[in-house]
Structures are given as C-alpha cells and as structure tokens.
Amino acid sequence: MLARLITSLNWTIGSVALALALGGPYIMDSLAGRASETGVLQIVRQIVDGERGYWALHKRYLEFTSFDAGQLLPRLNVNLDLDLSDYSFEGFYDAGGSFVIRAVSKPEVLRQTSNTMPVFGTARIYQHIIPPSAGGDAEGTSGWVRLSSSKPGILAKILD
C-alpha cells in the first residue's frame, strides 16, 4: 500500500516537473516580458514628446547613444531613471533621414544572475521611427522588432 502511494507521488511530481521544464521558459518569458514592455512604451513616449519639443526649438532631433542617454535626455525635459529600466535607449538618424528611437534589452538582464534559477529572458527591441518629411509633427511608426521567427523554449522546438 505504501509502495503504491510513493509510486503515485513520484509519477505526479515527475510529471509536474517535466511540464514546468518544457513550458516554464515560455511562461516565465511572457510574464516578465509583458511587465517590462509596458515600462518601455511609457519611456519611449516621453522621449518622443521631448524630441518633438526639441525639434520645435532647433529644427532637428537630439541624437543620443545608450552611453550618454542619462546626460542628454534631461535636455529634452525628460526626467527618467534609465538605470532602473531593463532596456538601453538610443536615438539616431538612419540612412533615409528618419529619426529612430530604439530600446534594446540590456545584456546584463539577459545573463544569468542566480545560481539556483536560470533567467529565461528573450532579447527584445522596440523602435519608434519618425519620418523625415513631417518634422516634429509626425506621429511616426512604432513597434517591436522581430528578431527571429522561432518561439522560445524546448516545447516550441518539438512541436514545430
């Protein structure tokens, strides 16, 4: 009787552990990703509004890199604590003359920081493109850049 109970518990615990091992990375990535994505959208909106004000004064956008964003963004009247974000921000002109504001996942967020649980983070890039023709009045296009067509996790590799 006791042997049957222990065998049943082992099967149950093993099945749950296997399900978490296969589906866990996808679930953890989607939950953590949604929380950080909403913060990025707010920060990019604030930077876009600051860039519009900068355009009204200087007839150009303020370019910044991920290294000097903390010093240059206050010129746009944008007070953000970028150290708390999981993304690094940059603003630049592309080859077509459009101004691109890009948020890229920080490498230290994607690396494993704990020895007990690995981090299942997916690299994400969000960009907002302001076309050159409309100047500071343009809304622009924005969205998440798709890095790969494959889905995260082992289960997606098995099913595809």
DSSP letters of 87-136? EEEEEEE-TTS-EEEEEEE-HHHHS---SSS---PPP-EEEEEE-TTTGG
State both tokens at 40. Answer: 């990025």
pLDDT average, residue stretch 40-68 = 86
State both tokens at 113. Answer: 């920081």
pLDDT band of residue 32 (cuts 50, 70, 90) is low
**Which pLDDT value is given to residue 84?**
66
What is the C-alpha to C-alpha distance for residues 103 and 89, in angstroms, rounded to an integer? 5
pTM: 0.69
Q: Tell me the per-residue pLDDT of 109-137, one tens digit each, with 9 for 90 and over.
A: 666 555 555 555 677 888 988 888 766 56
pLDDT average, residue stretch 89-113 = 82
**Which pLDDT value is given to residue 73?**
82
More confident: 88 or 78: 88
What is the C-alpha to C-alpha distance for residues 76 and 63, in angstroms, rounded to an integer? 11
pLDDT band of residue 72 (cuts 50, 70, 90) is confident
Would you kindly state where each structural domain of the chain is located, as residue ranges? 2-159
**Which pLDDT value is given to residue 80?**
74
Contact assessment for residue 83 and residue 71, using Cβ atoms and an 8 Å cutoff: no
Phi, psi of 36 (to 5 degrees): -75, -30
State both tokens at 25. Answer: 């990375």
pLDDT average, residue stretch 47-60 = 86
3-state secondary structure of 66: coil
Lowest mean pLDDT, pick from 26-40, 47-61, 82-96, 126-140: 26-40
Q: Give the list of residues 6+ apart from residue 74 with CB closer than 8 angstroms, or none.
A: none
pLDDT band of residue 10 (cuts 50, 70, 90) is very high
pLDDT band of residue 18 (cuts 50, 70, 90) is confident
